[in-house]
Amino acid sequence: MGFLLIEYPTVRQVFIDDVQCGSTNTPFQVPNGYHRIDLGTNQNYAPSFRRVEVRGEPYQAPKTTSFRPL
């Protein structure tokens, strides 16, 4: 289990492995392993998705990835 932080200029929903889970800019726990991350079907962000590997990152140093608005 590790912590994941998705950075984006505003707060919006996060989708992990095709399911809505958590929101941007707030760390939350996900199971270790590879995950496909995106911000939903409204494709006004880039990249369209990211693939991250989580390996037990603690709350104080979460696995961090970011998206930018288009």
Partner 1 sequence: MTAMRFCFLSARTIVLIAAASACAQYPLTAPTPLAAPAGASAHDGYRFENFPATGRNSDSIFVILTFSGGGTRAAAFAYGVLQELARTQIDTGSRARSVLDEVDVISTISGGSFIGAFYTLYGVDSLPAFEQRFLTWNAEGRLKRELLSQNLIRLASPNFSRSDLAVETWDKRLFHGATFKDILSRRQRPYLIVNATDMALGAPFSFTQEQFDPMCDDLAEFPIARSVAASSAFPGLLTPITVENHAGRCAFRAPGWATSDSTDAHINADAFRAARDYFTYADSSERPYIHLMDGGPSDNLGIRPILRGLSSVARDFSLLRLQANGRLRRIIVIVVNARTSDISTINKHRNPPGIIGVLRAAASVPFDSYSYESLTRLEMISAQRRADRLGAECYNKLLARLHPDAPPPSIEALVPIDIVHITFEDVKDSAARAFFLRVPTTLSLPAATVTRVRDVAGELLRENEPFQQVLKALRYVNEPEPIRCLGQ
Least distance (Å) between residue 38 CB and partner 1: 10
Question: Which one, of 6, 53, 13, lies nearest residue 27 by Cα?
Answer: 6
Least distance (Å) between residue 11 CB and partner 1: 11
54 vs 70, beta carbon nearer partner 1: 54
Least distance (Å) between residue 68 CB and partner 1: 20
Under the rule (CB under 8 A), what is the footprint of partner 1?
Answer: 1, 5, 16-23, 25-36, 53, 55, 58-60
Provide the 3-class DSSP secondary structure of residue 60: coil
DSSP letter, residue 24: T
Question: Which one, of 55, 70, 63, lies nearest residue 22 by Cα?
Answer: 63
